[in-house]
A = this chain, B = another copy of it.
Amino acid sequence: MNKNAIIGQSGGPTSAINSSLAGAFCQAEELGINHIYGMINGIEGLIQNRVIDLKNVICGKPQVELLKRTPSSFLGSCRKKLCESEQNDSDYIAIFKRLKELNIGYFFYIGGNDSMDTIDKLHRYSLKSKSDIKFIGIPKTIDNDLCITDHCPGYGSAAKYIATSMKELILDSTVYNKSSVTVVEIMGRHTGWLTASSALSKSAECPGPDMICLPEVVFDTDIFIKKISSLLSNKKSLVIAVSEGIKNKDGQFICELANKNTKVDNFGHKYLCGTAEYLANLLSDNLDIKTRYVEFSTLQRCASHISSLTDINEAFDTGAFAVKAALDGNTGKVVIIQRDTDLPYSSHPSISDVSMIANKEKFVPDDFISDDKYGVTSDFSKYALPLIYGELAPVFINGIPEHLVIQNRK
């Protein structure tokens, strides 16, 4: 085994992204790969020659266990989008030059649909330039919006955080003997998988959210106000789960109605905020009722203290499977998860062409959305519930969870 491996992380972090890194690292080590490099800040760092040898920073099994419990991207991330090599191949030349210098045979990139676009492009360029480097994508996203795969590593832990926090908030909302509406804003620009997961808070002693507003359903503020008013005639305290990305029939984001400055990131995605705040004010003005809003914010993707063991284990296995797939000669592929059974839950990793995932989005299907469009079906719960099963106890030191961190990562 004389070829080395390199691994990068890209896009927004999840609570499971480092478990995929741990899985890939352990498998590569076990298979005898000499140097297992990490790109600092993804391909952006690779181009800038910012690369480390992972064996120097992940030392032994206890550190692997810490890495699985560490939020954020251990290696740092980037949001760099490669242009097509036909338009400008300077980044490609720089990347393949670096890969050659490091004697890389296997290239792994952990990321979402934008990052899979990077794998797809590098793979296509490798074919064109007769490189024999194997390019494999390892999926991650809290959004669960990747096609083909049954679900995506990172989603289960975010869903567990959301369901747990939602349950705590619902109980908190009943504390006073007064009418009130709590509007909770949940991440998901275009797809409602995370917002739907708020329904998993439902249990014998918790009714779950009273309304769930997904971006897959056109949002009408008049209908919303009427529906809340109607619900309030039967129940004192309501808790509503809304996606940050809900839009009206004209395709306008609801948060834009609040006249906020809407910023745009490198991929042209609008940076959203304030949907719940806007709706809470709207209800307060129209129904003369006490309202509050809660934004789960960045904690959805980094609250690793309440990660899902199922998710962390699948993320690890996905990383490990990518290494095996590459050494088996696969390239231009992405690891996916295939579900065997719901109960008892069982799944296994597999691979698919990365072009089937890159730049595509998977929406919450109609049969997961309730008939009235403001809730989810039991089929959704059957799908999502196994993904939040199990806990991975943090290593607490001085009362707070310990993480594995590269000091002075540069």
Chain A interface (Cβ < 8 Å from any Cβ of B): 12-13, 40-41, 44-45, 70-73, 76-79, 160, 163-165, 167-169, 171-172, 174-177, 182, 200-201, 203, 205-206, 292, 294-295, 297-299, 301-306, 308, 385, 388-391, 393, 396-405, 407, 409
Query: Which of B44, B164, B304 contacts A401, CB < 8 Å?
Result: B164
Chain B residue numbers with a CB within 8 Å of A160 are 399-400
| CB < 8 Å neighbour of A41 from B176, B295, B298, B308 | B176
A168-B304 contact in complex given A45-B177, A205-B402, A292-B298, C-beta closer than 8 Å: yes
Residue of B nearest to A401 (CB): B164
Asked whether, in the complex, the Cβ of B304 is within 8 Å of the Cβ of A305, the reply is no
Q: From residue A204, how far is it (CB to closest CB) to chain B in Å? A: 8
List the B side residues contacting A396 at CB < 8 Å.
391
Q: Nearest 5 A-B pairs (CB), nearest first?
A: A388-B399, A205-B405, A72-B171, A172-B302, A168-B302
B400–A200 contact, CB under 8 A?
A: yes
Copies of the chain in the assembly? 2
* A115 CB → nearest B CB, Å: 13
Question: What's the minimum C-beta distance from A300 to chain B, rounded to whole angstroms?
Answer: 10
Contacting residues, chain B, for A71 (C-beta < 8 A)? 168, 171-172
CB atoms of B299 and A175 under 8 A apart: no
Q: A41-B176, A41-B177, A399-B390 are in contact. Are A299 and B72 (CB under 8 A)?
A: no
Q: Contact at A400–B172, with CB atoms within 8 Å?
A: no
A398–B13 CB distance below 8 A: no
| A171 with B403, Cβ < 8 A, contacts A176-B76, A177-B44 known | yes
Q: Give the CA-CA distance A188 to B407 in the complex, in Å.
A: 33
Complexed CA–CA distance, A77 and B174 (Å)? 9
Across the interface, which residues of B come within 8 angstroms of A177, CB to CB? 40-41, 44-45, 76, 78
Contacts of A44 in B (CB 8 A): 177
What are 7 residue pairs bridging A and B, where the CB atoms are less than 8 Å apart in the complex?
A73-B175, A163-B399, A171-B405, A174-B409, A203-B398, A294-B297, A308-B399
Chain B residue with the shortest CB-CB distance to A11: B175
State the Cβ distance, A392 to closest chain B Cβ, in Å. 12
Residue among A182, A294, A400, A401 with most chain B CB within 10 A: A400
How far does the alpha carbon of A73 sit from the alpha carbon of B201 in the complex, in Å? Answer: 18
Known interface pairs A78-B177, A389-B398; 13 further A-B residue pairs with C-beta atoms within 8 A, sorted by A's residue number: A76-B176, A76-B177, A160-B400, A164-B400, A164-B401, A165-B303, A168-B303, A168-B304, A168-B305, A169-B302, A171-B403, A292-B298, A388-B400
A306 to B393, CA, bound (A): 11
Assess the A385–B399 pair: CB atoms within 8 A: yes
A397: chain B residues within 8 A (beta carbon): 203
> Which residues in B have their C-beta under 8 angstroms from that of A407?
205
Q: Which residues of B contact A78 (CB under 8 A)?
A: 176-177
A409 to B168, CA, bound (A): 17
Q: Is the CB of B205 within 8 A of A404?
A: yes
Q: Given that A72-B171, A175-B13 are contacting pairs, would A402 and B203 also be in contact in the complex, using a CB cutoff of 8 Å?
A: yes
Q: Specify which chain B residues have a CB less than 8 angstroms from the CB of A399 in the assembled complex.
A: 160, 163, 200, 308, 385, 388-390
Instruction: Establish whether residues B206 and A405, one from each chain, have CB atoms under 8 Å apart when the complex forms.
Output: yes
Q: Please give me the residue from chain B that is nearest to A182 by CB atom.
A: B298
Residues of B within 8 A of A171 (CB): 70-72, 302, 403, 405
Q: In the bound complex, how far is the Cα of B295 from the Cα of A299, in angstroms?
A: 10
Contacts of A72 in B (CB 8 A): 168, 171-172, 174-175
* In contact, A203 and B167 (Cβ under 8 angstroms): no
Write the nearest CB–CB distance from A269 to chain B, whole angstroms.
14
Please name all residues of chain B whose beta carbon is closer than 8 Å to the beta carbon of A295 when the two chains form the complex. 294-295, 297
| Alpha-carbon gap, A206 to B78, bound state (A) | 21
Query: Would A305 and B302 count as touching, CB distance under 8 A?
Result: no
Alpha-carbon gap, A13 to B170, bound state (A): 13
Q: Which residues of B contact A301 (CB under 8 A)?
A: 172
